[in-house]
Every structure is written in structure tokens, then in C-alpha cells.
């Protein structure tokens, strides 16, 4: 089924798997700021805006998108690498049919990947590139090397923070490290869980100014999502906020962010999945 759809899309695109897939990392310095919930709902928002979206769970420490949505699957990427199943068989169907590539224990094994496995990963990557316009990657919190490597393999990164001083400090540290490691990755700031828009805007502007002053880089304030009790309610019900409470403040803010992402003109072509795989494998060498 997956292969048929893939072939069909390749034909309709008239290209042999070449891709402009945009890969966007959702990252944070401090844990628990809202990355996973945002990744899933942003994915859903973009799907509603007619984008073909994949959500990839790359939180090595605590892969939990499946738990957040009450999904269970048999396979993950490690099974693809071992040749035990196809990539299509690992995908979970999330809300509104959103494609989710679950927990990435398989990616950890890339440290010792064999050439056969590397080939399988490249094939899988080419398949993905032929299908999706956008891939959102949920990254583990903090400045661990594997997180930095993942982010470096993406085209853009959205750094999520809350108004808490610790979240602000840790977001700054992450951006500082990214700036040292990463050649011109587009960085967007997303302030989540503030109590008033005034507070959210103040935090965003302060961060932007400090980053420009001390790191000499311009970051974009990409979104503002207020604290909203509906998020907690949706998480408890293991459902997506956009499905359960589409009119809530946070859901509307996420839809706005989705529209903004669609409208962003990327100054350079996305590196696409081929580039992603090459760099990804290279990072572990
Ligand atoms: N805008 C919001 N309003 C209210 N609660 C929120 C909001 N955003 C996230 N939360 C709550 O914050 C908690 C943490 O969210 P989530 O698991 O998405 O964070 P995370 O950054 O992925 O955490 P980790 O670093 O552990 O992976 C959840 O209970 C979620 O309901
Ligand atoms: Mg998470």
C-alpha cells in the first residue's frame, strides 16, 4: 500500500524521488516545556493546511509521542534497519491519519550501523522524501550531543521555551551551542505557556535582543502559545488538542503558527531527506 502510494506520487511529481522536503526540529534547552504536544499539533495543523506531514519522534531519552496519543505499534526504525519490516509498516496513524514514525531506539543503533543497514536507511529516507512536504522532528531536551546532531541534520529549528528563568537560560545555552556547531540553520523562537500576551512578547523580545547582542545572530520570534488548561485536558485524554478543542486559545495559536510556517519563504532550498541521511550518517562516523 505504502509502496504503491509512493510510486504514484513519484510519477505525479515527474521526478525520481527528488525532494524539497522541509525538515523542522522542535527542540528545547529545558525539559517539559511542551515540545511533544506542539510537534503533534503543529503536524496536524500543517496537514489541515494541505501539507503532507510526517512526525518523527527523535527523543532518544524519552520517546513518547505514541503515549501522548494512546497509540501502539509493533515496529520502529530499528526493525527497518534490520530488514524485518518496511518503513510503511512502522508508521502509526495519528489523529486525522497523521503519519507518525515512533520512538527511535533504532536511531541509537546508528552508532554501530553496518553498510547494509545504512543502505536500508538511505532507501527509507528516499521513500520519505518522495512523500512528505514537511517532517517535524521531536528532539530530546537539552544540549546532549545526539540532540545537537539531530538538529544539525534539519533545515530549521524551533526552540521552545516558557517564561521560567531556567527555561530561558537553557534555551539561550542551546542556541549558543547550535550557533557554534551549525552552519546557518534557521532558528525560530517559540514562547509557550505564558500567562498574558504581554509576558510572552516581553520574553520573546528580551531573548531576541540578548541573542543578537551576545551571539550576533538574528532569531525570528516564530510563535506565541499561551498557557491553556485545554492542553492539559487533551494530554490527559491522550488526544490531540486541535481535534478535541479546536477553538481553544492554544489551538488557535498553533493554527496561526502553522499558517506562518507554510508562508515562510525559505531563503535556501531545503536540504531534503537525501541531505538529511548523508549528514545524519556522517555525524556518527
Ligand atoms: N500551552 C500550554 N498550556 C498548558 N499546558 C501546556 C502547554 N504546553 C504544554 N503543556 C503541558 O506541559 C506538559 C509537558 O508537555 P510536553 O510533554 O509536550 O513537553 P516536552 O517539552 O515534550 O517534555 P520533555 O522534555 O519531557 O520531552 C504537558 O503536561 C502539557 O500538557
Ligand atoms: Mg517530549
The finding on whether 191 has its CB within 6 A of some atom of ligand 1 is no
Output the average pLDDT for the chain: 85
Centroid of ligand 2 to alpha carbon of 245 (angstroms): 21
User: Using CA positions, which residue lies closest to atom 2 of ligand 1?
Assistant: 227
For ligand 1, is residue 30 a contact (CB within 6 Å)?
A: no
The ligand 1 atom at the shortest distance from the C-alpha of residue 225 is 1
Distance 14 CA to ligand 1 centre (A): 41
CA of 64, nearest ligand number:
2
Q: Where are the alpha helices (DSSP H) in the chain?
A: 2-13, 35-48, 65-68, 77-81, 87-90, 105-108, 115-131, 145-152, 165-181, 197-215, 229-236, 241-244, 249-263, 272-283
> Is any ligand 1 atom within 6 A of the Cβ of residue 59?
yes
Name the pLDDT band for 122 (thresholds 50, 70, 90).
Answer: confident
- Looking at the CA of residue 228, tell me the nearest atom of ligand 1: 3
Q: Of the ranges 7-16, 184-193, 257-266, which one carries the lowest mean pLDDT score?
A: 7-16
How open is the CA angle 276-106-46, to the nearest 5 degrees? 50
Which residue ranges make up each domain of the chain?
20-263+270-276
Integer Cα distance of 227 and 218 in angstroms: 26
The protein residue with its alpha carbon nearest to ligand 1, atom 23, reads 32
CATH among 3.40.50.300, 1.10.15.40, 3.40.50.20, 3.40.30.10 for 20-263+270-276? 3.40.50.300
Cα of 28 vs centre of ligand 1, distance in Å, is: 11
- Give the whole-angstrom CA distance, residue 87 versus residue 211: 40
Ligand in nearest proximity to the CA of 241: 1
pLDDT, position 191? 98
Model-level pTM? 0.88
Q: How far is the CA of 37 from the centre of ligand 2 (A)?
A: 7
- The pLDDT confidence band at residue 274, using thresholds 50, 70 and 90, is low
Higher pLDDT, 124 or 178: 178
Q: Looking up cell 534557521, which residue turns up?
A: 186
47 confidence band (pLDDT: 50, 70, 90): very high
Per-residue pLDDT, 14:
38
What is the tens place of the pLDDT at every residue in 71-118?
888 888 778 888 898 888 989 999 999 999 887 655 555 656 677 877
Say yes or no: CB of residue 193 within 6 Å of ligand 1: yes
How far is residue 19's CA from residue 275's CA, in Å, rounded to a whole number? Answer: 10
Q: Which residue has the higher pLDDT, 202 or 76?
A: 202
> Comparing 50-54, 181-185, 250-254, 259-263, which segment has the lowest mean pLDDT?
181-185
Amino acid at each position: 500500500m505504502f509502496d504503491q502510494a509512493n510510486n504514484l506520487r513519484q510519477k505525479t511529481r515527474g521526478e525520481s524521488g527528488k525532494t524539497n522536503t522541509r525538515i523542522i526540529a522542535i527542540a528545547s534547552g529545558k525539559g517539559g516545556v511542551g515540545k511533544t504536544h506542539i510537534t503533534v499539533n503543529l503536524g496536524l495543523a500543517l496537514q489541515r493546511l494541505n501539507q503532507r506531514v510526517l512526525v518523527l519522534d527523535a527523543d532518544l531519552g524519552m520517546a513518547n509521542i505514541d503515549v501522548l496519543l494512546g497509540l501502539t505499534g509493533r515496529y520502529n526504525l530499528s526493525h527497518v534497519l534490520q530488514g524485518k519490516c518496511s518503513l510503511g509498516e512502522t508508521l502509526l496513524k495519528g489523529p486525522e491519519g497523521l503519519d507518525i514514525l515512533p520512538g527511535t531506539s533504532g536511531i541509537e543503533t546508528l552508532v554501530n550501523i553496518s553498510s547494509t543497514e545504512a543502505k536500508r536507511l538511505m532507501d527509507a529516507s528516499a521513500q520519505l522524501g518522495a512523500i512528505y512536504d514537511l517532517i517535524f522532528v521531536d528532539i530530546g531536551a537539552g544540549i546532549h550531543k545526539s540532540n545537537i546532531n539531530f538538529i544539525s541534520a534539519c533545515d530549521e529549528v524551533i526552540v521552545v521555551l516558557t517564561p521560567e528563568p531556567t527555561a530561558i537560560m537553557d534555551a539561550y545555552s542551546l542556541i549558543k551551542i547550535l550557533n557554534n556547531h551549525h552552519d546557518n540553520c534557521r532558528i525560530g523562537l517559540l514562547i509557550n505557556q505564558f500567562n498574558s500576551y504581554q509576558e510572552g512578547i516581553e520574553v520573546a523580545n528580551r531573548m531576541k535582543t540578548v541573542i543578537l547582542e551576545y551571539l550576533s545572530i538574528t532569531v525570528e520570534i516564530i510563535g506565541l502559545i499561551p498557557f491553556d488548561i485545554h492542553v492539559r485536558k487533551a494530554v490527559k485524554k491522550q488526544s490531540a488538542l486541535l481535534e478535541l478543542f479546536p477553538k481553544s486559545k492554544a489551538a488557535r495559536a498553533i493554527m496561526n503558527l502553522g499558517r506562518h510556517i507554510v508562508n515562510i519563504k525559505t531563503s535556501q532550498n531545503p536540504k531534503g531527506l537525501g541531505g538529511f541521511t548523508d549528514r545524519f550518517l556522517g555525524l556518527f562516523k
